[in-house]
Amino acid sequence: MPTISLPNNWQPRPYQFELWRYLEQGGKRALAVCHRRWGKDDIALHWTAVAAHQRVASYWHMLPEAEQARKAIWTAVNPHTGKRRIDEAFPPEIRENTNDQAMFIRFKNGSTWQVVGSDRYNSLVGAPPAGLVVSEWSLADPSAWAYLSPILAENNGWALFLYTSRGKNHGFSLYRSARGRPDWHVERQSVMETKVFTPAALIDAKADLVALYGEEDGEALYEQEYFCSFEAAVVGSYY
């Protein structure tokens, strides 16, 4: 049987190092407001693979809705490799079994990982999580965190929030609150910090959004998706 090292054939991008280092050093609460294509799913999945083999426990990856979670995580394919993202982070060699219907993996060391939706958080059964990834928090049901935070506090678990801004909703409120709390790691990265996109690609992206939504809404979406602006008007939420 081949030897598997975790993370599996992956390393953080340079602008992800600070967050990865915080988690490696045992940090329990992290929040990153990130632009599109930042690599939120990559770092979340690979960190969970590592954490699940450091501590035998249950781990959840939560998106706003369960069906969205299936498409965005469970069946998602990495366009750069042509492989499913979960197969890259959790290679078959480390799994005991995989349940496609429940979006559930049991690892050979006894840990489990499951993809869930914040719309069904209070109907989930089984062991409570010791590690929780909350993806697209600004679109999730905030009651999910109210329900789960005491559970994670009681079992000394960790939580990682990764999302793009959506105006001054609960995503903004948690960002503002966490910034003033020394036990949280908080960062906010726009395309200017990461340099993921070339200047030409950003010009094209902005032009496309303006063409699709008009100048005002297109500009707002551009500021929101690429510059993580909490000030940008949320398209469709005003009249």
Write down the pTM of the prediction. Answer: 0.93
Residue 1 has pLDDT above 60, yes or no: no
Residue 239 has pLDDT above 60, yes or no: no
Pairing mode, strands 58-63 and 104-107: unpaired
Beta bridge partners of 132: 60, 159
Q: Which of 37-41, 54-58, 143-147, 230-234 has the lowest mean pLDDT?
A: 230-234
* Residues 42-76: tens digit of each pLDDT: 999 999 999 999 999 999 999 999 888 899 999 99
Q: First vs last Cα of the chain: how many Å apart?
A: 61
Once rounded to an integer, what is the mean pLDDT over residues 168-179? Answer: 96
Taking the CA atoms of residue 8, residue 189, residue 193 and residue 221 in that order, the dihedral angle to the nearest 10 degrees is: 110
Q: How many CB atoms lie within 10 A of CB 25?
A: 8
DSSP string, 115-149: EEEGGGGGG--SSPEEEEEEETGGGS-THHHHHHH
* Residues 185-206: tens digit of each pLDDT: 999 999 999 999 999 999 999 9
